[in-house]
């Protein structure tokens, strides 16, 4: 990983950096399903703890990694947040296609640990939108199909549901191969709203769509016009995220080993 160059900060810049961190930035995820989102768990921890969303919605959850990080913070800090994951759990061209076992695995974990406030909506995004009142969603994470037209449609479809204090997350803002178009939409939207972009972990765009931004988040978005602070925040979260790759790799290895054991047991019936 290439980290941004760090320049010594002034006292005022240090204050700005500290405002973009919280106790939840040191989160140790309890769930490590296969995901390219691993390195953004520390920022999700900070964002959920700081924003304290009333309703948080994730479009595209796959194995549920980012969703369960969100849920973990809600539970740890006893927040009054209702969390919703929307997905068909069938896969797509970018996430890959997979069996119903993935949904069953995610559903079981959700039911066992977060049943009081976490909800899985197994349906298309454009069908699920009717389940929410206008101006009700404080945090929206868009991570479905990554073609430009698809991610733009997802955003425009859900905009009426965003509250006056809403934050929208876009994953893969740094990916340009395989037809990914998130970076294009990000370039358009980040020029219209306060924003911050992380460059590590395939890129994560943070967009302040709501006009009544939480004062605690001002430092993060103001950092976009302060290169020294911006780089320091990026470096800090890239470092915090990198330390989670080891546990994630071990969990992927464990899951692969479990699958191989199941396959061997099935094959042994024929010999």
- Percent of the residues in the chain that have a pLDDT greater than 90, as a whole number: 70
Total residue length of the chain: 271
pLDDT for position 98: 61
- Res. 25: pLDDT tops 60: yes
At 138-150, the pLDDT tens digits run 999 999 998 999 9
Confidence of residue 263 (pLDDT cuts 50, 70, 90): very low
The domain ranges of the chain are: 11-268
| Per-residue pLDDT tens over the stretch 218-227 | 999 999 999 9
pLDDT band at 3 (very low <50, low <70, confident <90, very high): low
Reported as a pLDDT band with limits 50, 70 and 90, residue 260 is: very low
Question: What pLDDT does 271 receive?
Answer: 53
Higher pLDDT, 92 or 138: 138
Q: Which residue has the higher pLDDT, 100 or 128?
A: 128
Q: Name the superfamily (CATH) of residues 11-268.
A: Vaccinia Virus protein VP39 (3.40.50.150)
CA 102, CA 152: separation in Å to the nearest integer?
27
Contacts of residue 25, defined as CB under 8 A and 6 or more positions apart, other chains included, come to: 42, 43, 45, 46, 237, 240
Distance CA 207, CA 190 (A): 7
What local confidence, expressed as pLDDT, does residue 251 receive?
61
Minimum mean pLDDT among 1-5, 6-10, 48-52, 222-226: which range?
Answer: 1-5
Res 259: pLDDT:
46
Query: Which range, of 74-83, 85-94, 133-142, 162-171, averages the lowest pLDDT?
Result: 85-94
The whole-number average pLDDT for the span 153-181 is 96
Half-sphere exposure of 263 (CA within 13 A, CB side): 6
């Amino acid at each position: 990983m290439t980290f941004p160059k760090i320049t010594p900060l002034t006292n005022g810049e240090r204050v700005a950096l500290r405002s973009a961190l919280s106790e939840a930035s040191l989160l140790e995820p309890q769930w490590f399903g296969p995901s390219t989102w691993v390195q953004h768990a520390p920022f999700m921890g900070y964002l959920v703890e700081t924003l304290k969303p009333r309703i948080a919605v994730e479009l595209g959850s796959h194995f549920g990694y980012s969703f369960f990080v969100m849920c973990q913070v809600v539970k740890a800090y006893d927040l009054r947040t209702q969390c919703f994951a929307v997905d068909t759990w069938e896969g797509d061209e970018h996430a890959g296609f997979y069996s119903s076992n993935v949904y069953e695995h995610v559903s079981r974990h959700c039911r066992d640990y977060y049943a009081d406030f976490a909800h899985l909506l197994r349906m298309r995004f454009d069908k699920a939108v009717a389940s929410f009142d206008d101006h009700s969603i404080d945090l929206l994470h868009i991570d479905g199909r990554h073609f430009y037209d698809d991610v733009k449609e997802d955003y425009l479809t859900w905009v009426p549901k965003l509250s006056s204090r809403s934050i929208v997350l876009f994953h893969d803002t740094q990916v340009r191969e395989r037809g990914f178009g998130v970076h294009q939409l990000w370039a358009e939207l980040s020029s219209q709203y306060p924003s911050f972009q992380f460059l590590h972990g395939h890129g994560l765009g943070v967009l302040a769509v709501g006009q009544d931004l939480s004062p605690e988040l001002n430092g993060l978005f103001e950092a976009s016009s302060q290169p020294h602070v911006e780089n320091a925040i990026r470096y800090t979260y890239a470092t915090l995220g990198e330390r989670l790759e080891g546990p994630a790799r071990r969990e992927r290895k464990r899951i692969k080993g479990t699958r191989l054991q199941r396959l061997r047991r099935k094959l042994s019936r024929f010999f």
